[in-house]
Structure 1
Amino acid sequence: MHFSIPDTEDFRDENGAAYTGYNLHVNGVFHCTVRYSQLFDFQEQVKKEYGTAFLGPHKFPPKKLLSLSPPQIDERRLKLEKYVQILSQDSRIANSDLFNGFLLSAQKETRKEDPTEVQLNVYLMNGHKITVDIMSTDQTDDCLEAVAAEVGLPDDFVYYFALFLMKRENDDDKGTIVRRIQDFESPFISMKAATGKHKIVLRKKYWDSAYDDELVDDRVALQLLYVQIVSDVERGWVEGTKEQLSRLEALKAKGSKKEYLKFARTLKFYGFIQFKSCKTDYPADNTPVMVCAGNKELIFRVAMQDGSCKEGVFRITRMRCWRITTVSHENNTSENEHDLELAFEYLVAKNKLQWITIASEQAILMSLCLQDMVDELVMKKKGARIKRPQDRIKGPQRIFKGRDGGVITASSSSTPVASPDPPSSPLTSPTEESPSKAFKGMESVKRISDKLQSVSVNSKSKGPGATVENDIFEGIGEDDL
């Protein structure tokens, strides 16, 4: 996940006293506004339960007796951002009811949402609507389990699926996947706050198609898989010859869902997500490219002048790390345009690493796909399984400080770390004795503004960027080269 506090806002409380609000963004989307005092109170709870060793050399910014100047506020903003980023990299904390409860209560307070009985509409990829009765402040896992119960999906298969936010640019558009909805947010509030034509959809969460074998014997799970792959084929995300696609149509007409899925799995790009057209510096600067993610790979598809398509395959096991950065483009009107970039360091040959950059508005989604694929590899390597509803642990009622100085009570659930190994993030593996490598370079996406240092598009050096280390990379062998 990518956490950032890109800017601040000035507020006044009920007594007219001024205070600074820090705007917290998650995966490039505004989540909530919190005061320093709220984060200070939260970190005291974290310190009590988890200590401070996970912070390494970084410290929570201390209290100040006097009002802060604008430069001091910005310095505090950066330190608070770093603190939240480090928290999110420790799997013990990131999966805890304390972490989920704080972020959920902050979203609820920011959006001024009181718990009320509401209906949430969730759609399948064919447009079929599922309506469930929930509380407006229910967290994502509660909503997902309600949807699963409504359609009759067995508990063992609930978390093979997830809720995603999808956006339509126009009425004819099939929609673009924006992001997976995280458990520390309320899907109802997030949907209500989204601008434009959005809807919540149910899609499978896993990447390894071998998991299909565990689902196809269940009628409901089979139907959910079938609906999704039919949609992917219609979108052109799955490729086949004219004869192969005709065979799929024939199986669809017969209602042979198992056979449809079995045959579709043999086709190119089955289980992949395709992103919008973007640009990359590989094989040359400003190369237009279509990027697909799946099967433990990123695939670049470059259209050649003769009408053919050249492909480059990048395996996640050969990516040493990746980062998200924001690049500022100076134009003739003296205003700046900003692009997101995903760059990954790739083992192109033995003992040769090369940075490859993708400029795309979906860079964060690409990064999250990479992380999910790595997490899945780590989970399978450790012999763990996809969680079930009974694995969730309902936490106690927590008390958090509100922006007005009052208290907010909230309860949330947590999911234990799947591995019996010492607590660690799958990507960063921090230890109590030494901070994670990712702590040294982990930065989130930052909005370019007057308060931030911008990176010129003409500059050869992009700076340290937002680096996520990939421990799977350490396990490659000669056969992978």
Structure 2
Amino acid sequence: MRSAIFSYNNHVRNKKQENNLNCEVLNVFNPTDAGTHTDMIHIEIPDTKTLVEKNDGTSRYIAYNMEINGWKHASVRFSHLYEFSELIRTKFGKKYKGPEFPSKKLFKLDAKSIEDRRIKIKKYFQALVQHPEIARHYLVEKQLLGFQVDSYRATSTNVSVDIYLGDGEKIQIKCNVGCNTSDVMKLIAEKLGFSTVEHLQWNFGLFIARSRDSIVSYSISPDTFDPLIVRLLRNFEAPYISLSTVNQKSFGDGLFHYLCLRKLIWDPKAEDVLLDNEQIVDLLYRQATQEMKLGHFGELKFEQESKLKTHKNDKIQFLRTCQQIPHYSYEKLGECSGDYPKAGMVSSIKIGHRQLVIKFTDDIGITTESIFRATRIRVWRLSKVVDDISFQFEYLRSKDNFEWITLNTPHAILLSLLLQSIGTEILYEHNNLSIEQQIAKEKESKGMFVEVDPTPVQPPRDPRKPIIILQNAVENTDPLGVMEHYRNYNRMFTTISDQIPTRDEATGNITNDDL
């Protein structure tokens, strides 16, 4: 099988396009860089603020505002950040290669020195996330969580947290204000009757969402529940604090955010192996019935609509019918602008079925949906122009024909996280790992070593069936060499330069016959 070669001319053309963008490249990712959907993406130190000491209420100090994945995380004093850097130096030693953390000063800093220190702290953290074995480590998660909890200055230790399920039904859990996302997910699993919390944690995510319409409302009706997800919560943050922080900021704009539980399953066929779990079936059914009620399935054929009505009280058969509907199982991420199919085009995006779909209406009123399959996205990156972050991805159109596509969307970082989740699903499905093995693999990457039975609990995959269904694919275990394409990726790398990655691993086994 001939290798698809990324031509030099195409590379030069892309470099010229990049230079014209006049933007700062924040992060660059390969689809399955880290092998886990819980990787961090980006840490920013945008500015500083003056705070008052909690103890005496009069003394002032400079705090450095920290944003993670595009959202305000904490305001942290220099001494605490310095202690963090010392922890990294002690724990990881020479594994960290990058700018040194700024040293302590014996004298009071002026405004210029404070700004210089902020820039150095920013460069330190942005270099830190180039090291997955550090950025993923549970000690780093714990320290970042501590920054958030300390910065929030809660007036109460114990709080109640409302969680909305897929159909808008609300459940309430009680927890400590500093409980991280994993702790909250465990409480949700207990509330919903899960016998194994990993089944919830691996197949569902805890999101911050808001209403899709612009009507100001601080109540949620199950009849019209249609969340626009804006953020996937992680273990380095406390959901209660993250939600409170974003609502404090958005209150003036009339936006109300809430926590909701949504599935992280990107191929409808991947649901089949989960249908023996009563709690998972219930959550999938809730989300599916709500999406059908809201019309997200599109125009149904008569036989499809009849089957859905017939199986309305049979959750498993209802879900299996849904799996046959092309518009089932997508997350709609709202409107964006970009350069596809032409510059300045306003479109909407959704993600599901292991693909990204861009929907747009042309100048003569014709609406089109363009499908971009995750297995053909060679690399993607997050770029910043002024205060806006854009999502850019390089897509294989045909042999030797790569195209960079830019989407200017407030969901750029979320989109990157969801694509990471798709890559993880593909890899673990191919390797036939059990849920327990998947969780163990993630814990190992965080420095939390556990022993797990290496024997897969599911029967071996039928080699006659394709792993991934792609257009023009043949009945073959790996029709486009997709898994080799995924395995060849190196670990995450991050750049703060204007250089375009010149990598060819993604499409090394794709030929014209495959396309």
1:264 offset after TM fit, Å?
0.9
- Alpha-carbon displacement from aligned partner over 1:439-464 (angstroms, at most 9, x marks no partner): 3x1x5xxxxxxxxxxxxxxxxxxx73
Q: Secondary structure at the match of 1:375?
A: helix
- Alignment correspondent of 1:178: 230
Q: 1:61 to 1:355 in 2, by over 3 A?
A: farther
1:16-415 equivalence runs, <5 A? 19-55=61-97, 57-113=98-154, 116-155=157-196, 156-159=198-201, 160-168=203-211, 169-170=214-215, 171=217, 174-195=226-247, 196-243=255-302, 246-247=305-306, 249-251=308-310, 254-304=312-362, 307-328=365-386, 339-381=388-430, 384-387=433-436
Instruction: Provide the rounded CA distance (Å) in 1 between the counterparts of 2:450 and 2:132.
Output: 7
Are the counterparts in 1 of residues 167 and 225 from structure 2 also a CA contact under 8 Å?
A: no
Instruction: Provide the rounded CA distance (Å) in 1 between the counterparts of 2:262 and 2:88.
Output: 33
Unaligned ranges ≥5, structure 1: 329-337, 395-412, 421-425, 431-435, 444-462
Are the counterparts in 2 of residues 248 and 263 from structure 1 also a CA contact under 8 Å?
A: yes
1:381 offset after TM fit, Å?
4.9
Unaligned ranges ≥5, structure 2: 1-40, 218-223, 248-254, 455-486
1:383 offset after TM fit, Å?
5.0
**Which residue identity does 1:113 align to in structure 2?**
A
RMSD: 3.6
Instruction: Provide the rounded CA distance (Å) in 2 between the counterparts of 1:469 and 1:416.
Output: 35
More strand by share: 1
**Which residue identity does 1:353 align to in structure 2?**
F
Q: Secondary structure at the match of 2:96?
A: helix
Higher mean displacement: 138-147 or 263-272? 263-272
1:23 offset after TM fit, Å?
0.8
Are the counterparts in 2 of residues 7 and 22 from structure 1 also a CA contact under 8 Å?
A: yes
Q: 1:105 to 1:72 in 2, by over 3 A?
A: same
**Which residue identity does 2:498 align to in structure 1?**
P
Are the counterparts in 2 of residues 346 and 354 from structure 1 also a CA contact under 8 Å?
A: yes
Q: Secondary structure at the match of 1:356?
A: strand
1:191 offset after TM fit, Å?
2.2
- Alignment correspondent of 1:406: none
1:296 offset after TM fit, Å?
2.4
**Which residue identity does 2:267 align to in structure 1?**
D
Matched length: 421
Q: Secondary structure at the match of 2:325?
A: coil
**Which residue identity does 1:42 align to in structure 2?**
F
**Which residue identity does 1:189 align to in structure 2?**
I
Are the counterparts in 2 of residues 114 and 137 from structure 1 also a CA contact under 8 Å?
A: no
1:269 offset after TM fit, Å?
3.1
Q: Secondary structure at the match of 1:137?
A: coil
Instruction: Provide the rounded CA distance (Å) in 2 between the counterparts of 1:87 and 1:206.
Output: 30
Residue 477 in structure 1 maps to residue 510 in structure 2: yes
Q: 1:475 to 1:418 in 2, by over 3 A?
A: farther
Q: Secondary structure at the match of 1:163?
A: strand
Matched residues, percent identical? Answer: 29
Instruction: Provide the rounded CA distance (Å) in 1 between the counterparts of 2:432 and 2:99.
Output: 33
1:68 offset after TM fit, Å?
4.1
Instruction: Provide the rounded CA distance (Å) in 2 between the counterparts of 1:361 and 1:18.
Output: 34
**Which residue identity does 2:210 align to in structure 1?**
K
**Which residue identity does 1:301 align to in structure 2?**
K
Are the counterparts in 2 of residues 124 and 228 from structure 1 also a CA contact under 8 Å?
A: yes
Q: 1:264 to 1:144 in 2, by over 3 A?
A: same
Are the counterparts in 2 of residues 95 and 417 from structure 1 also a CA contact under 8 Å?
A: no
Are the counterparts in 1 of residues 334 and 350 from structure 2 also a CA contact under 8 Å?
A: no
Are the counterparts in 2 of residues 120 and 133 from structure 1 also a CA contact under 8 Å?
A: yes
Instruction: Tell me the TM-score normalised to structure 2 length.
Output: 0.72
Are the counterparts in 2 of residues 428 and 470 from structure 1 also a CA contact under 8 Å?
A: no
Instruction: Provide the rounded CA distance (Å) in 1 between the counterparts of 2:44 and 2:379.
Output: 19
Are the counterparts in 2 of residues 317 and 476 from structure 1 also a CA contact under 8 Å?
A: no
Task: Select 1:3's aligned residue among 34, 37, 43.
Answer: 43
Instruction: Provide the rounded CA distance (Å) in 2 between the counterparts of 1:315 and 1:381.
Output: 17
Are the counterparts in 2 of residues 139 and 187 from structure 1 also a CA contact under 8 Å?
A: yes
Are the counterparts in 2 of residues 278 and 360 from structure 1 also a CA contact under 8 Å?
A: yes
Higher mean displacement: 319-328 or 66-75? 66-75
Instruction: Provide the rounded CA distance (Å) in 1 between the counterparts of 2:352 and 2:232.
Output: 16
**Which residue identity does 1:291 align to in structure 2?**
I
Are the counterparts in 2 of residues 264 and 270 from structure 1 also a CA contact under 8 Å?
A: yes
Q: Secondary structure at the match of 2:327?
A: coil
Instruction: Provide the rounded CA distance (Å) in 2 between the counterparts of 1:390 and 1:382.
Output: 14
Instruction: Tell me the TM-score normalised to structure 1 length.
Output: 0.76
Q: 1:304 to 1:116 in 2, by over 3 A?
A: same
Instruction: Provide the rounded CA distance (Å) in 2 between the counterparts of 1:273 and 1:313.
Output: 14
Q: 1:181 to 1:7 in 2, by over 3 A?
A: same
Are the counterparts in 1 of residues 69 and 413 from structure 2 also a CA contact under 8 Å?
A: yes
**Which residue identity does 1:85 align to in structure 2?**
Q
1:357 offset after TM fit, Å?
0.7
**Which residue identity does 2:237 align to in structure 1?**
E
Instruction: Provide the rounded CA distance (Å) in 1 between the counterparts of 2:127 and 2:489.
Output: 10
